[in-house]
Structure 1
Amino acid sequence: MTHRDSGFDPQDQDPQTVQRLRFGVGVIGFLLPIVLLVGNIITSARLTLLASMSASYYTHMRNVFVGSLCAIGVFLICYRHDRREDRLSSLAGVFAILVAMFPTLPPTSVTPHPTQVQTTVGILHLCFAAGLFGLLAFFCLRLFGDGRGRPGHRIHNAVYLVCGWVVVGCTVMIATAGVLHFAWDLPLTLTYVGEAVSVFAFGVAWLVKSAAIGAVASTASPGPAPA
């Protein structure tokens, strides 16, 4: 799709701004699972593990969780590349902010008997999170790829595909485990691992797309910036 076909004016957002927004999304996605886990242990002064990333809303890391999602949301809404990416990134940004504003169902250790409102809000949280992960996977699998066949871009495409399918696989795993009430006898829950790996994967994809990971970006042949 060319800029003319998409109706997008390339002067609306300069390439450097596009790369910086991609970098911002990638950095937050890359670091958030680690920061939430380590930060919760430090602030609680004991080895406290989270049932899910969303459960950090009910810990001392609430502001980090909410602030990070809102930052991702703002970056995605401000991000423009072509008309399709503009619309989908804006929708993903709205989902990210809604995930932050509608907290997950509180754990039983915090609220043994959640109200109907808390239950409804928790269900909305899951719906918004599913929409967000779905769109982020779509970015990796369909929008980030470059079909021009240069060796460096083939490596980029492989990274995007791996990251996209990791997000899809982890999302399916989390949903299946939730339906089947599956649990494993490990310190980290299956939900946290799935969420953390998904967020980490999409963070890597956005960092690669921003050309911030030198080891990958350096393999690209000189030429025009990817479309």
Structure 2
Amino acid sequence: MIIDTKEIKIENYDIFTYRRIRRAIGYLGFLLPVFLVGFSLIPFFQTKIQPSVSDYYYTNLREIFTGTLSAVGLFLIRYKGHGNKSIFKNDNLLTNIAGIMAIGVALVPTNPESVSQKIYTIIPLTEKWLGWLHYGFAAVLFLILALLAINVFTITQEKYIETPKSILNENNIYRTCGYIILISIVLVPVSESLKLFTYSTLALEALALFAFGTAWLIKGRALGDKGKIGQKLYQENNPVDTEKVFEE
């Protein structure tokens, strides 16, 4: 059997390119709430901590909010996953939809305290339904991100059911992150109706973004995949399966 080293190099390059895109998406999602809250604490930016991530659209940190979400959206659209007959496992389709939703969240803002502020948005209309459209984009975005973590990222190691796995196995992390996203988003309207505390929505949205970012960083192997990390997270010490290499 003749092995084409050129094809192997191209395949390895594609794998590392995918991992870089995954890490970029993960870092952007994870750091967005960190930057927004962190910069709010710096007097130079003249911005108070907002009740939610979306409210930063109407502050001096708007460009960070819209720019980061737009970048996430473009990376998700650029990300070409594997097709699948099941819509709920087709990461190529799901990431494209999620990317469009992320850009929608960035460009169609939530309703501000003063409706007149909407004059300065990309759609200079004051209708409240635009704010609900923003929430619709956000809801679909987080639902798809949760679905990707729970239903798509876990496909690779489903072939290794018979192999004992560490509690830190990547699939356990993906599912945990996915469920955290779902629970956080469900709790947002609950916390707002109960008025638990001023920043409850911000905290829950940040938690969802941290979970989203973590799932993509682990998928992008941001911690590396050698030694104990590779064994516990990715079962790298198992015999190589060509199908698994293709998935990764």
Equivalences for residues 73-222 of structure 1 within 5 A: 73-83=73-83, 84-108=90-114, 117-145=126-154, 146-147=157-158, 148-149=160-161, 150=163, 151=165, 155-178=169-192, 181-185=193-197, 189-214=199-224, 216-217=229-230, 219=232, 220-222=234-236
Equivalences for residues 3-14 of structure 1 within 5 A: 14=14
3-state SS in 2 of match to 1:204:
helix
The one-letter amino acid paired with 1:121 is L
The one-letter amino acid paired with 1:200 is F
Deviation (angstroms), 1:152: 5.8
Name the CA distance, whole Å, in 2 between partners of 1:47 and 1:62: 10
- Between Structure 1 and Structure 2, whose CA radius of gyration is higher? 2
Name the CA distance, whole Å, in 1 between partners of 2:34 and 2:246: 30
Name the CA distance, whole Å, in 1 between partners of 2:32 and 2:49: 15
Name the CA distance, whole Å, in 1 between partners of 2:45 and 2:213: 28
Deviation (angstroms), 1:117: 2.7
Percent identity between the two aligned chains: 31
The one-letter amino acid paired with 2:185 is T
Structure 2 segments unaligned to the other structure (5+ residues): 1-9, 84-89, 118-123
Kindly provide the CA deviation profile for residues 66-101 of structure 1, in whole angstroms up to 9, marking residues without a partner as x.
000000001000111202211110000000001001
Residues 66 and 101 of structure 1 are in contact (CA less than 8 Å); yes or no, is this contact kept in structure 2? Answer: yes
Kindly provide the CA deviation profile for residues 25-78 of structure 1, in whole angstroms up to 9, marking residues without a partner as x.
100111111101111222556782211001111111100000000000010001
Deviation (angstroms), 1:17: 1.7
Distance 1:216 1:129, change over 3 A: farther
Kindly provide the CA deviation profile for residues 168-221 of structure 1, in whole angstroms up to 9, marking residues without a partner as x.
00010012234xx22124xx5111011000011010000000111247545333
**CA RMSD, 1 decimal:** 2.7
Name the CA distance, whole Å, in 2 between partners of 1:70 and 1:59: 17
Structure 1 segments unaligned to the other structure (5+ residues): 1-9
Q: Partner residue of 2:58?
A: 58
Distance 1:41 1:154, change over 3 A: closer
Query: Scaled by the length of structure 2, what TM-score is found?
Result: 0.76
**For structure 1, which segment, 82-91 or 145-154, has the greater mean C-alpha deviation from structure 2 after superposition?**
145-154
Residues 47 and 61 of structure 2 are in contact (CA less than 8 Å); yes or no, is this contact kept in structure 1? Answer: no
Distance 1:218 1:35, change over 3 A: farther
3-state SS in 2 of match to 1:225:
helix
Kindly provide the CA deviation profile for residues 3-22 of structure 1, in whole angstroms up to 9, marking residues without a partner as x.
xxxxxxx97x9222211111
Name the CA distance, whole Å, in 1 between partners of 2:127 and 2:212: 29
Distance 1:175 1:161, change over 3 A: same
Q: Partner residue of 2:120?
A: none
Kindly provide the CA deviation profile for residues 130-180 of structure 1, in whole angstroms up to 9, marking residues without a partner as x.
0000000000110011212353697101101110000000010012234xx
Name the CA distance, whole Å, in 2 between partners of 1:217 and 1:35: 30
Query: Scaled by the length of structure 1, what TM-score is found?
Result: 0.83
Deviation (angstroms), 1:116: 7.1
Deviation (angstroms), 1:118: 4.3
Q: Partner residue of 2:18?
A: 18
Residues 47 and 60 of structure 2 are in contact (CA less than 8 Å); yes or no, is this contact kept in structure 1? Answer: no
